Amino acid sequence: ISIPIGLVVLAGKKSKQFKLLLFWLLIAPLPAAFTFLTPSIVRSMFMVVPLVIFSAVGMNELSGVVLKKSRIMAVILLILPSFAVISFIHNYFNHYSEESGMYWDLSYKELFDYVGQVEGKYEKVVFFPKAVSDFSIPHVFLLYYLKYPSKEYLWEGGSRVCDFGHT
């Protein structure tokens, strides 16, 4: 709620800084829009600065209005964000690793330990990165965990990317 309030407050001042921040906010999503790995939080981080500024201005305005009307509401306005912080800390330390591990490619070590054990039984190994996540590049992990020499890998032709995955 503080971001729209901040936008309205700064828009009313019609300053060059507001126009710059608004322009910044409007062009910030463009790097993320032109990639195939969406959504991309890393490429969307350019939006953080203008959003924080709009939010801070909005919270300042909101707290000023609330403080004039009611001290109890001001205390509630200060305490309420602490619940979000506590919830974030709880989720981060208790649930994040289990729920988001696949996006950090945490299962590749176990996979390639197994591949290393049975590699003599197969002529070729094919990976389907879409089955794991959109961000997977399993050949990099294969080279690392099996300690495969990079020069030998490149000399043999490296990875071939096809419609079905990396081979």
pLDDT classification of 39: cutoffs 50, 70, 90: low
Is the per-residue pLDDT at 71 higher than 50?
A: yes
- Say what the pLDDT of residue 163 is: 47
Which stretches of 14-160 are DSSP H helices?
Answer: 16-27, 30-33, 41-44, 48-69, 71-94, 96-100, 108-118, 129-132, 138-145, 150-155
Instruction: Quote the pTM value.
Output: 0.54
Averaged over 8-17, what is the pLDDT? 86
What's the rounded Cα separation, in Å, for the pair 69 and 78? 15
- Say what the pLDDT of residue 87 is: 94
Averaged over 45-57, what is the pLDDT? 91
Phi, psi (5° rounding) for residue 162? -125, -175
What's the rounded Cα separation, in Å, for the pair 1 and 84? 14
